[in-house]
Amino acid sequence: MRPRAMTKLTFGAAAAATLGLLATLAPTADAHQPSGHKPELKRIGYFTQWGIYGRNFQVKDLETSGTAAKLSHINYAFGVVGPDGKCIMGNAPGSDPWADYVRPVDAATSVDGVGDTADQRLAGNFNELRELKAKNPGLKVMISLGGWSGSAHFSDAVRTDAGRKTLVASCIDTYIKGNLPVDGARGGAGAAAGLFDGVDLDWEWPGSDGAPGNVIRPEDKPNFTKLVREFRTQLNAYGRSLPKAQRKHYELSAYVPTAPAKIDAGFEVAKIMRDFDFVNLQGYDFHVSGEKTTAQQSALFAKDDFSVDQTVKAWLRRGAPAHKLVVGMPFYGQGWTGVSGGGDGLGQPATGPAPATWVAGSEDYKYLKKLADSGTYKLYRGYRNGHAWLFDGTNLWTYDDPTVVRTKASYVRQNGLGGAMVWSLDGDTPDGELITAIDRGLTRR
């Protein structure tokens, strides 16, 4: 299991010089989008494999909270790319077959109210997601490959044409065809067939720094383009190979960065966007609790700083169609303690990450809501309601509340973007307060 804080990254000032240029470009109508094309806005949520443990966030909670009915896609985090250049399950860091498909789920915790039996070939989260799809026709489930602490082997795996073909084939075999390793009665050929509707690439980051120890090469940039093409080719071929009544289009997406320097180091934007159905823009961790000064982590608008608006403009400028850009929104906050300097606390020195429930400096929205309601903290809002923060004189938390995510959802609609993505679903309140606000913001006319 990887802690949430390890899925995030800190930006330096390396790309800041490009922000002034990008600020002159406003999101406009998409030249690549056919006239009259009005696709339904996407609502994408990441479900964390490890959230079933400490947080006790189960797939069933997506149904009881009403969240599932408001989603178009669930991204399951994460599938593992191993040192052998293949998608692997078991005996590898980050892989947890017990959570994925081995763990028996009792009736009280099951989406359909029926407990798993000893002879089921598919149990655990995978079976619960299958049940969730049965209750919510049209809901799609994507396997997300990599993550912050799971991207170490991408560069090696995709160096050659043969390597790319092997990686893609193994991922399709495991997740799309559903051929899972046998574990007692669980798994086997086709055990998870039909569960996953596509692949989400979460390589952090091709061509630039990610987690310590990741291999980085200048050729990651063209190799990523070739990897995307290989996924598109093999997914299309498999979808067409199915019996006529079962043929389908398997979707392909990616999680992509906000920093212009990282975009330019790793992404041939105009080329890859032809093969992606959409990409999920990083809309958070613009600043993180490991920094020495407090700052916004997810502002919609910001002057001479990272922001959602700057991210959208950066991708549009490089040739991305607007309707394929999905805006990421956080269901957690970044926090500092020992904040001095007075005022509203923003832009002030701090002594370190604030104490939190799971990982210092990172707190789920459902807990931040309690702080906001406690009377101890004062709530502040930034430019055009595009971000919010709490400050008690010592501790500061920057986060998105319902007002902020509604504002961002309106921005998505007004600028012809593809929808909203959230990291991660387990941070919301039990009644789905944030996802409801996003849903209302995306549907309001």
* Contact residues for 302 (Cβ-Cβ < 8 A; gap 6+): 286, 296, 309, 310, 382, 383, 386, 387
CA atoms within 13 A on the CB side of 239: 14
- Is 204 among the catalytic positions? yes
Instruction: Compute how many other C-beta atoms are within 10 angstroms of the C-beta atom of residue 241.
Output: 9
Pairing state between β 73-81 and 87-88? antiparallel
Q: Which two tokens stand for residue 161?
A: 């044409």
Q: Which of 128, 131, 204, 363 is catalytic?
A: 204
**What Å distances lie between residue 313 and 208, 282, 325, CA to CA?**
21, 13, 10
Q: What is the distance between the alpha carbons of residues 424 and 71, in angstroms, rounded to a whole number?
A: 13
Q: Let me know the angle formed at the C-alpha of 357 by 355 and 359, rounded to the nearest 5 degrees.
A: 70
195 contacts 127 by C-beta, under 8 angstroms: no
Query: At how many degrees (to 10) do helices 402-414 and 308-317 cross?
Result: 20
Helix H or strand E encompassing 439: helix 433-443
Pairing state between β 140-146 and 198-202? parallel
Residue 156: what are its φ and ψ, rounded to 5°?
Answer: -65, -40
* Contact residues for 24 (Cβ-Cβ < 8 A; gap 6+): none
Catalytic residues: 204
